């Protein structure tokens, strides 16, 4: 009895504390959960940038340039992986640890915030749509409360990362013949891959491990799982291969992900087959393995065994499209998201077939979902266009590399055309802003669009159909 009373009292205190905290946050950030999410991310980036500004963060033992610290902190927290300085050469072990923690916090933060926004969306949408949203894996019954969501996300991440580390740590110990460095590298790549961060702690990148299938396939698996997104992972965890129980969101995400994966690997393989700067001189098996690795990582992982900059410029253009597409919603991957592509494709199919509504897997996709999808694509394309023009102006380069770097930042991919390492501060700030917009902007933008869907039926205007095409 005594124990129960104590628990009640403490949860009462917690309740008061939580209410005050919430009130304070609300005053700070305005009432919109979307705006709150952006504030939280901005503050987190500022904290990690401050930590990287410490003298102990660099190998040289001096404070780094402010723009480098801000850029790398943004890149870590948004799990992008673009760097203005070589991670292994520039940052001390402490600095690398700060980056790793930044990645973990950022990765968890994104998934959590996306999941919470989805819930707040379902609340605002009323019961009917809320039931619908359960289909998206955001089941209010199973884990409706904020704390529950965060706990599930953290446990899910920890389990996958631990599994990855258990493969990578022994392998790195074996490869590097050193216990401490093996553990550190195994841990780093486990976290970096599941969070789709693309950061590497070897000064030559992954070049040295391109021939090691264990490292390559484990990192690929980590990136792939991370890019599916929490709702899909959770759905798969609960329902395994009972495809009929999968939600529409899960089905669409898996379909588009696998399609893009195969198409990306095929195109990469075909176009780079005899490029001696990339995979041209490898064995057939290695060519296949590296094409798959490149394809997985284009869609937000950001790891590379061969330098993107050495690819044919046609390959880079194809990569542009795949990077822009990105991964799953509420995942550590960026881009416009695969469900956005699915919704647009389904809309096209419905038109081509002459159906009045777009449907998939026995579900009708509401017209407003098409409008949100189109808005997300339009926003992304506009931001990338502006950034590309700006980087072209700064660097004097033709559009190929500035476009690649801009899309890589917007879609938080982290593959580089070699620009980030050479850009002046004003270029780095633009890319940092793009990473922020691509990571936090897209999810909050989509959520705030969706949440505003009120079903108010006012006076309905007569239809007007302008000619199209």
Interactions with a second copy, residue window 385-404 (CB under 8 A): 385, 388-389, 392-393, 397-400, 403
Q: What is the DSSP string of 106-127?
A: HHHHHHHHHHHHHHHHHHHTHH
Residue identified by tokens 């990077």 is: 323
Residue from 18, 17, 65 nearest 423 by CA? 65
Nearer to a second copy, 3 or 458 (CB): 458
Compute the distance between CA of residue 81 and CA of residue 416 in angstroms, rounded to an integer.
Answer: 9
Interface with a second copy in residues 136-165 (CB under 8 A):
136, 138
Interatomic CA distance for residues 343 and 349, integer angstroms: 10
Compare residues 140 and 359 and give the one whose CB is closer to a second copy.
Answer: 359
CA distances from residue 73 to 12, 150, 245, 435 in whole angstroms, order as listed? 38, 23, 40, 11
Q: Is residue 89 near a second copy by the rule CB under 8 A?
A: no
Pick what 196 binds: a second copy, K ion, none; C-beta below 5 to 8 Å, kind-dependent.
Answer: K ion
Report the partner that residue 457 touches, choosing among a second copy, K ion, none (CB closer than 5 to 8 A by kind). Answer: a second copy
Q: Does 352 bind a second copy (CB under 8 A)?
A: yes
The reply to whether 274 sits near a second copy by the rule CB under 8 A is: no
The binder of 293, among a second copy, K ion, none, by C-beta within 5 to 8 A per type, is none
Q: Which residue has the tokens 């392998």?
A: 171
**C-alpha span between 52 and 65 (Å, rounded):** 10
Residue 325 contacts a second copy per CB under 8 A: no
Closer residue to a second copy (CB): 58 or 319: 319
User: Is 329 an interacting residue with respect to a second copy (CB under 8 A)?
Assistant: yes
Closest CA to 238 of 323, 138, 319: 138
Give the interface with K ion as residue ranges (CB under 5 A). 81, 196, 198, 302, 414
Closest distance to K ion from the beta carbon of 54 (Å): 25
**Is 101 one of the binding residues for a second copy (CB under 8 A)?**
no
Name which of 413 and 423 has its Cβ closer to K ion. Answer: 413
Strand partners, 359: 364
Q: By the 8 A CB rule, do 171 and 186 touch?
A: yes
Q: How far is CA 276 from CA 27, 100, 115, 284, 445, in A?
A: 58, 34, 44, 13, 43
358 binds a second copy (CB under 8 A): yes
Question: Using the rule CB under 8 A, which residue among 45, 143, 225, 449 binds a second copy?
Answer: 449
Compare residues 18 and 245 and give the one whose CB is closer to a second copy: 245
What value, to the nearest 5°, has the Cα angle with vertex 33 and ends 30 and 36?
60
- What are the structure tokens assigned to 275, written together? 């490029």
Could you tell which of a second copy, K ion, none binds residue 92, using a CB distance below 5 to 8 A set by kind? none
The item of a second copy, K ion, none sharing an interface with residue 173, based on CB under 5 to 8 Å by kind, is none
254 near a second copy (CB under 8 A): no
Angle at 72 between CA 67 and CA 76, to 5 degrees: 150
Report the distance separating Cα 83 and Cα 69, nearest Å. 10
Cα(46)–Cα(72) distance, rounded to whole angstroms?
Answer: 11
The answer to whether 188 and 201 have CB atoms below 8 angstroms apart is yes
Residue (99 or 267) nearer to a second copy, CB: 267
Output 27 or 460, the one with its CB closest to a second copy.
460
Which 3 state secondary structure label does DSSP give 335? coil
User: Given the complex with K ion, which of 296 and 344 has the nearer CB atom?
Assistant: 296
The one of a second copy, K ion, none whose footprint includes residue 3, by CB under 5 to 8 A per kind, is: none
Residues whose CB is less than 8 angstroms from the CB of residue 240 and which lie 6 or more positions away in sequence, other chains included: none
Tokens 């009323």 correspond to 126
Binding site partner of 417, from a second copy, K ion, none, Cβ cut-off 5-8 A by kind:
none
Is residue 294 a contact residue for a second copy (CB under 8 A)? no
Q: Interface with a second copy includes 313 (CB under 8 A)?
A: yes
- In this chain, which of 116, 336, 415, 423 binds a second copy, going by CB under 8 A? 336
Which residue lies nearest K ion, judged by its C-beta?
Answer: 302
DSSP 358: E
Q: Is 310 in the site for a second copy (CB under 8 A)?
A: no
54 binds, among K ion, a second copy, none (CB under 5 to 8 A by kind): none
Return the residue of 252, 282, 298, 419 that touches a second copy, per CB under 8 A: 252
Smaller CB distance to a second copy: residue 54 or 317?
317
Q: Which of 391, 398, 400, 385 is nearest to 427 (CA)?
A: 391
- Gyration radius from the chain CA atoms: 23
Which one, 198 or 229, has the nearer CB to K ion? Answer: 198
């Amino acid at each position: 009895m005594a124990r129960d009373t104590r628990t009640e009292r403490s949860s009462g205190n917690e309740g008061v504390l939580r209410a005050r905290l919430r009130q304070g946050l609300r005053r700070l950030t305005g009432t919109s959960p979307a705006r709150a999410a952006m504030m939280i991310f901005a503050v987190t980036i500022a904290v990690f940038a401050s930590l990287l500004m410490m003298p102990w963060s660099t190998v040289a033992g001096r404070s780094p340039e402010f723009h480098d610290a801000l850029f790398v902190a943004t890149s870590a927290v948004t799990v992008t992986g673009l760097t203005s300085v070589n991670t292994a050469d520039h940052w001390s072990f402490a600095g690398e640890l700060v980056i790793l923690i930044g990645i973990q916090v950022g990765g968890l933060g994104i998934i959590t915030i996306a999941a919470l926004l989805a819930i707040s969306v379902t609340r605002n949408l009323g019961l009917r749509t809320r039931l619908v949203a359960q289909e998206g894996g955001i089941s209010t019954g199973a884990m409706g409360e904020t704390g529950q969501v965060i706990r599930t996300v953290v446990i899910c991440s920890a389990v996958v990362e631990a599994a990855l580390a258990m493969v990578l740590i022994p392998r790195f110990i074996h490869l590097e013949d050193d216990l401490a460095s093996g553990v550190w590298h195994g841990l780093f790549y486990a976290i970096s891959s599941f969070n789709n961060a693309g950061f590497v702690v070897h000064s030559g990148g992954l070049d040295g491990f391109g021939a090691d299938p264990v490292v390559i396939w484990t990192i690929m698996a980590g990136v792939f799982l991370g890019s599916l997104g929490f709702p899909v992972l959770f759905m798969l965890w609960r329902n395994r291969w009972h495809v009929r129980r999968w939600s529409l969101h899960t089905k669409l995400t898996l379909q588009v992900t696998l399609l893009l994966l195969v198409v990306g690997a095929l195109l990469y393989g075909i176009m780079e087959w005899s490029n001696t700067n990339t995979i041209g001189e490898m064995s057939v098996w290695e060519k296949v393995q590296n094409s798959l690795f490149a394809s997985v990582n284009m869609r937000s992982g950001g790891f590379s065994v061969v330098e993107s900059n050495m690819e044919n410029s046609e390959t880079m253009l194809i990569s542009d499209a795949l990077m822009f597409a990105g991964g799953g919603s509420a995942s550590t991957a960026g881009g416009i998201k695969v469900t956005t592509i699915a919704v647009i494709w389904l809309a096209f199919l419905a038109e081509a077939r002459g159906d009045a509504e777009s449907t998939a897997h026995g579900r009708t996709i509401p017209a407003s979902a098409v409008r949100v999808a189109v808005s997300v694509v339009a926003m992304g394309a506009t931001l990338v266009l502006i950034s590309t023009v700006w980087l072209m102006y700064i660097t004097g380069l033709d559009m190929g590399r500035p476009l690649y770097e801009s899309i890589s930042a917007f879609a938080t991919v982290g593959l580089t055309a070699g620009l980030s390492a050479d850009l002046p501060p004003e270029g780095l700030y633009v890319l940092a802003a793009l990473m922020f917009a691509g990571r936090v902007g897209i999810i909050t933008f989509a959520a705030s669009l969706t949440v505003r869907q009120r079903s108010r039926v006012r006076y309905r205007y007569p239809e007007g159909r302008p000619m199209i095409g």
